[in-house]
Structure 1
């Protein structure tokens, strides 16, 4: 299984929107896809229409209580897309993980029994133990980056954290790409940020950019990914382009058992 952490310690950069829509795009072309909601806000779960009463076992139980992955998975209304939902009690997991042996390796252990082709992990907006568990479990890291000045400030910190994870927990982790989000061509700063990021990181930055788009914002309130809610809107088309580009950066598909 290919495992991709979607992470950036800055909030509001499009992590959850990216994780949900990329997971949906992969499921739509026949990949058995798993999405792990590792954000205590549970927005990925809500955005896929998973009601509170469907979250009996969640990512909290998966990490802290050792509940089997299969018992935590909930099927979504999207064919071939499953999710491990999140509940608010996940916010306490950071404290409880501190006491555990191999506190950064709990998610990696849990995912060992997965039978999917690809897994996306929606990380919280921090570099705490939840995100470290995701980075220790992942093969690849995808970084959504908002096209605004302050978004650049935290990028170096995230890249430094990735280097530490590679050295200490997961030598196989590599950055699959930086996805520019909330792109507004009417704003000169947006273009400047884009040029600066591409100048520094080059081909690591995806060609596809995700624009600011009302339909992307509306979709979660309907419990649907944007590419299902309105597949013709500019945001949905951007995520489909991003998914195609991402596939080209992954190893040849390994069919799950």
Structure 2
């Protein structure tokens, strides 16, 4: 009952936002792939400067949700979409590398661990470097040290150079609502996706590789996955978040 109520409140809040703010058109859409439903938010190269990564507010406290993110925006600035952007500790600090316009709040982690983050290979989503968007395997990132305006590390990689992560099982019974990001082979397009229902890693990876044509894709998280998409009348409530990524533009 409580979960249903939260979702209804989120939908109602999203509808209110859609009525009071101009929708950022043609970014997020609902799409079916291989029998599963997803929301996919697509950005092109020209939109990269509008992509933002948030953790703390001006007071140094963790923002934690989309409403708090919106309060940080400047006059005339609207939030086109947002989602959680990587795993975090109990104090909401990022598990791995976090870099936002010169501010670093986490260090690159290249070692294996028993959780999803350490299911190697993991990776870093990087923007504003040699290409507008890229997903780079963490150890390769450590060697290359690419220049990134924004960077967030998570794991596992969903797609690595056109191949699914080797530990993904077709018949896995591990299912969660999951979200992540993939990039086109030329680095000119980024896709941010969240599943409507619980899916396996294999199903989610195939969305990026086979459904979207991503050559590299990165898992952000599962079960805590949340989306803000006012054009779809959606503003998910629930658990507080660590890093949040989203797209802004002027009205």
Give the TM-score normalised by the residue count of structure 1.
0.25
Q: Identify the structure with the greater strand proportion.
A: 2
Q: Which has the higher contact order (CA 8 A, sep 6+)?
A: 2
Give the TM-score normalised by the residue count of structure 2.
0.26
Q: Identify the structure with the greater helix proportion.
A: 1
